[in-house]
């Protein structure tokens, strides 16, 4: 593994250990960091034969940290969310909205990279639409996972769901992911294309 991805892995690993010290709810912490426990080993295992761009590795590390913070405090109790709630006069702690925005924004670049490198797709409308659809499908599947956790855990899963009394929380979460996927492609497509060119032309 190259130095930069290895450094990111160390940072994420250290942050993961710190997030595990006295989390607000241990079950919620495990549920939130579960994707990291799957994704990080997978990225290490594929680093030699299918290395990702620096941009993608950086975004994935950022996503991991967002998940760990939400897991440590639970999304409804993250201090940063309370700060924005007070600053903007919001009705709830919206840190989970950031998490779901990231759930669309960051996978969009990962999916875009995989499709550009393994399929006939090229930058353009079809790539944009397909990446957006995949991210929205992923977000919907995650909501199924949350639903399953709620059914299995009952009240114990309330902190994981983080609905904060919002009956439209599921729809809002998916909408945030949709916006994230669109914004990522509109703002980072050019940077991503250059990062891909640099990686593939080595």
**Model confidence over 47-98: pLDDT tens digits?**
999 999 999 999 999 999 999 999 999 888 898 888 888 877 777 888 888 8
The structure tokens listed for 51 are 């290395």
Whether 158 and 196 have beta carbons less than 8 Å apart is answered as no
Round to whole Å and give the CA distance between 176 and 178.
5
pLDDT in tens, 153-199: 665 555 555 555 566 678 888 999 999 999 999 999 999 999 999 99
Helix orientation angle between 95-118 and 169-200, rounded to the nearest 10 degrees: 40
pLDDT score at 69? 95
More confident residue, 81 or 105: 105
Helical ranges in the chain per DSSP H = 3-19, 26-46, 54-73, 79-88, 95-118, 125-153, 158-161, 169-200
Q: How far apart are CA 55 and CA 102, in angstroms?
A: 14
The reported pLDDT for the residue numbered 153 is 62
pLDDT at 154 (0 to 100): 60
Rounded to whole angstroms, the Cα distance separating 27 from 14 reads: 20
Size (the chain), residues: 202
């Amino acid at each position: 593994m190259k130095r930069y991805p290895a450094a990111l892995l160390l940072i994420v690993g250290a942050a993961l250990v710190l997030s595990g010290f006295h989390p607000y709810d241990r079950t919620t912490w495990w549920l939130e960091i579960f994707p990291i426990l799957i994704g990080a080993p997978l990225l290490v295992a594929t680093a030699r034969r299918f290395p990702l761009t620096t941009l993608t590795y950086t975004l994935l590390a950022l996503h991991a940290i967002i998940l760990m913070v939400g897991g440590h405090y639970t999304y409804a109790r993250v201090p940063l969310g309370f700060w924005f709630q007070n600053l903007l006069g919001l009705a709830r702690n919206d840190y989970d909205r950031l998490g779901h925005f990231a759930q669309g924004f960051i996978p969009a670049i990962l999916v875009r990279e995989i499709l550009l490198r393994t399929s006939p797709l090229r930058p353009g409308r079809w790539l944009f639409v397909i990446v957006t659809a995949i991210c929205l499908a992923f977000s919907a599947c995650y909501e199924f996972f949350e639903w399953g956790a709620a059914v299995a855990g009952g009240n114990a899963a309330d902190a994981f769901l983080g609905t904060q009394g919002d009956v439209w929380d599921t729809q809002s979460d998916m909408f945030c992911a949709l916006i994230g996927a669109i914004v990522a492609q509109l703002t980072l497509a050019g940077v991503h294309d250059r990062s891909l060119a640099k990686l593939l032309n080595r």
